[in-house]
Structure 1
Amino acid sequence: MAAQNLNEMLDLEVRLSEVPRDGRDYDFEADDAIKELLVEETKLSSVEAFQGKIAVRPFRGGYQATGQGTAIVEQACVVTLEPVKEDVTLDFERIYMPGKPPVVDVPPNAEVFVNLDSEPDQDWFEGDYIDLAPMVVETLLLSLNPYPRKEDAELADIQDDDDDSNESPFAALAALKDKK
């Protein structure tokens, strides 16, 4: 429900009747409330900046959204858990087609071929508007470093308290046998 709230707060609804043939640009910049909500809804430590520009134009019976954006975020280091700042470059590309997504009848465990290089992701819309906010947030989250690591952060060598590396696993059994 909060994700829907985030989409409403970003306010990137495009009324299709206002998109001319040569397209229209939509700018966005996250205010403090949106940044706070992004931190609450994600594993980010903080969001310093989040902005971009998306061009929407008619395309093959639907609409194409392309653009670029930037974000400055902080995540916890996977080694030290200290904040790691990251400058993120975002590339937006999505095709929106009218109607409902087709139902694909694929039997369980069937092999499905997906060509990731063919076309941009495709979404479906009903009505007279497209909401770009879900694509914007999704692109941000997928563009983040999944394993942020502070410079020079290394895992410490882990040693057991009892250093029995010289004993064989059967040494304890031999000790029991000697007690008899």
Structure 2
Amino acid sequence: MTPDAGSTLPLHRPIRVDEIKLRGSHITVRAEAAELAGIARMLDLPSVESLEGRYVLTRSGERVKLEGEIKATLHQSCIVTLDPFPVSIAVPLKLDFAPDAPENPRRKSDDKDDGKIDIEVRLNEDDPPEPILDGGIDLGAVTLEFLALALDPYPRKPGAAFAEPAPEEPPESPFAALSRLKRGE
């Protein structure tokens, strides 16, 4: 997320990295009523009743490790009946943060520059750390991101089932009618 994106989000809880204790800081992010309404609009939900993130942040130099859980109660609209129904979500999360490093300039080689870009992909490595922007982390943005990822993209109300309409009898073929006339039926 960009630094400007945090100010447009309905939940904004910045924390400075230098305020995080080396042995760990326990932080709770709880959305207020006005924020809950904004979150529901942002995520296109009928309502969000509660949203809370409980985190433990530990610092090692300029790097930060976040562990915690997000809990939410909300209503989603059923894709079959379009009726809102209650949903409870609990999402554990672990993230690493590091200062945002400037992009490395492309190495110049002795070979002729042919405009090609080499990309190295390492499959069995952990994800890179999230960037620390302007010396801080927006725990509100983290909470919203993981809530959005936890939502069922095709929510179905318990017991709701899509009933396929019964197949209609195909109309009688004109040749079948001629065949009956020929037989004298």
Q: How would you bin the TM-score normalised by the shorter chain?
A: 0.7 to 0.9
1:165 and 2:170 matched = yes
Cα distance in 1 for partners of 2:5, 2:136 equals 21
Unaligned runs of 5+ in 2: 107-115, 179-185
Unaligned runs of 5+ in 1: 176-180
Alignment equivalent of 1:123, drawn from 116, 126, 130: 130
Higher mean alpha-carbon deviation, 14-23 vs 51-60, is at 51-60
Cα distance in 1 for partners of 2:37, 2:62 equals 37
Letter in 1 for 2:151: L
Question: Aligned residues, how many?
Answer: 164
Q: 1:2–1:112: structure 2 CA closer, same or farther, 3 Å change rule?
A: closer
Structure of larger gyration radius:
2
Cα distance in 2 for partners of 1:119, 1:3 equals 26
SS in 1 for 2:129: strand
- Indicate conservation of the 8 Å contact 1:100/1:126, yes or no: no
1:5 and 2:12 matched = no
Tell me the equivalent position of 1:178.
none
Seq. identity, %: 26
| TM-score between both structures, scaled by the size of structure 1 | 0.75
**CA drift at 1:120:** 5.6
Q: 1:21–1:41: structure 2 CA closer, same or farther, 3 Å change rule?
A: same
Higher relative contact order (CA 8 A, sep 6+): 2
- Indicate conservation of the 8 Å contact 1:23/1:58, yes or no: yes
Q: Output the aligned Cα RMSD.
A: 3.3
Letter in 2 for 1:136: T
Letter in 2 for 1:5: T
Cα distance in 2 for partners of 1:23, 1:47 equals 30
Higher mean alpha-carbon deviation, 90-99 vs 26-35, is at 90-99
